[in-house]
Structure 1
Amino acid sequence: MLFQIKSYLQFLWHSKNEHAVHSPFVFNLLTKCFYDKKQKPEYSVLRAYRNSLLANTNTIEVTDFGAGSRVFTSNTREIAQIAKTAGISSKRAELLFRIIHYFQPESILEIGTSLGLATAALSLGSRSLGTKTKIITLEGCPETAKIAQNQFTQFGLTNINCAVTEFERYLNNIELEPLPFNLIFFDGNHSKKATLDYFELVLPTITNETLWIFDDIHWSAEMKQTWEIIKKHPKVTVTIDTFQWGFVFFRQEQPKEHFIIRV
């Protein structure tokens, strides 16, 4: 917790808003997407999705996997508590919705479904465009995935394919190159080794329009180191650090630039 407080204070000191950004691409992203304050009808669906989980006092057996698909945690938890502590916030869900609406990706991969709070935002963002966006979301815990799938059905989110699998095994076996993902949301394992392993495994899928979002880049000193390594990768051109999320772009026409932005 002390590390996160210190990291957040450093973030506030260095962060800027759109007025300090000279890249047209990033400026448009901030003004037309990140800072869009207009209410969307889909926000009420996201709130209803969250509230239905927060009202669920049933308990499930939760299993988490470490790097190399090694089980390191298995315990009984209340669904409402998982939604409260492990899911993304309402503000972040709305931002994720706007990002999908802005970039209009045709194929999305989410590494780490949990209860599907972020997945719902991905689905609603694509559905509002009337596109046939395909979403694959990966979850290692069968019981958690079952709850998420029930939620998807209840809220009519039909463009989601939830795969119950160990992340590394799935990424090692899937035919990635014929199916490039326009957007990948990394939210499944907050360790340096696992994150960098996933990074390398899906690197063959990138195109000039690809966007990757990494969750909890300031979660720990290890994750902060991971973020710095990702920023320096030769294929990465533009990154945006919003403290909780790190955005990575591979646009060849862009000069290599790193932004620290308040959201």
Structure 2
Amino acid sequence: MWEYLQFLWKSTNEHGVHSPFVFQFLTRGIYDFPLKKQYVHPRERLLQSAVYYFQPKTIFTTSNSFPYKLNVLTSNDILSSDFIIYYEENNRLTIDEILEQLTPHQLLWIVPTDNRKNILSKAKKNPTITLTVDFFHGILVSKRTEQLKQTFYLRSFRYFGDFKI
């Protein structure tokens, strides 16, 4: 809980974003994502909203036991996938291997576990990674060539009245 409160202290909403790519994703993909009536864990809601917004043709997941259901074709080939989901449980690849194979036309979504800070640090320190967006319950990573190297800490809710852990 303390780690989440620290995250809230340094995070911002759309008013702290100066990247058009991240601003559009945050406002149209995260904040405007249609919420389901039943409770969905923030990790799942963020992942579903990212998939809904980016609409990848194929997804590669690094885990053999991925817990979330997505209505997208999955692929066994990391290089032919548009969207890569790194989930640490029962993993086929390490985060270093994923970061090395990531191309500028792919997006990496990291489903964080207890090792969140270490994984985020590796992504930020990688010289080829240009964008990391930490939502606490999910991390977006990219090698976009048109993007300056930036890291954002963003809340997945617009106002504190919408706050849910």
Give TM-score scaled by structure 2 length: 0.78
Q: Once the 2 structures are TM-superposed, how far is the Cα of residue 93 of structure 1 from its aligned partner?
A: 2.7
Greater C-alpha radius of gyration: 1
1:85-164 correspondence runs (5 A): 89-112=40-63, 114=65, 117-118=67-68, 120=69, 122-123=70-71, 126=72, 134-136=73-75
**Counterpart in the other structure of 2:124:** 231
**Could you tell me which amino acid in structure 1 is paired with residue 5 of structure 2?**
L
**Could you tell me which amino acid in structure 2 is paired with residue 135 of structure 1?**
T
Q: Once the 2 structures are TM-superposed, how far is the Cα of residue 237 of structure 1 from its aligned partner?
A: 0.5
Distance 1:94 1:113, change over 3 A: farther
Cα separation, 2, equivalents of 1:117 and 1:207:
25
**Counterpart in the other structure of 2:111:** 215
1:1-263 correspondence runs (5 A): 5-39=1-35, 43=36, 89-112=40-63, 114=65, 117-118=67-68, 120=69, 122-123=70-71, 126=72, 134-136=73-75, 176=78, 179-189=79-89, 198-203=94-99, 205-216=101-112, 219-220=114-115, 223-263=116-156
Distance 1:198 1:10, change over 3 A: same
Distance 1:205 1:14, change over 3 A: same
Deviations 1:125-158 (A, max 9, x none): x4xxxxxxx314xxxxxxxxxxxxxxxxxxxxxx
Give TM-score scaled by structure 1 length: 0.52
Structure 1 runs of 4+ off > 4 angstroms? none
Q: Once the 2 structures are TM-superposed, how far is the Cα of residue 37 of structure 1 from its aligned partner?
A: 4.6
Cα separation, 1, equivalents of 2:77 and 2:43:
31
Q: Once the 2 structures are TM-superposed, how far is the Cα of residue 224 of structure 1 from its aligned partner?
A: 1.3
Deviations 1:51-90 (A, max 9, x none): xxxxxxxxxxxxxxxxxxxxxxxxxxxxxxxxxxxxxx44
Q: After alignment, is 8-17 or 199-208 more displaced?
A: 199-208
**Structure (1/2) with the larger helix percentage:** 1
Q: Once the 2 structures are TM-superposed, how far is the Cα of residue 188 of structure 1 from its aligned partner?
A: 2.9
Pick 1 or 2: higher relative contact order, CA cutoff 8 A, min separation 6: 2
Cα separation, 2, equivalents of 1:227 and 1:91:
18
> Percent same amino acid among aligned pairs?
33
Q: Once the 2 structures are TM-superposed, how far is the Cα of residue 106 of structure 1 from its aligned partner?
A: 1.8
Unaligned runs of 5+ residues in structure 2 are: 157-165
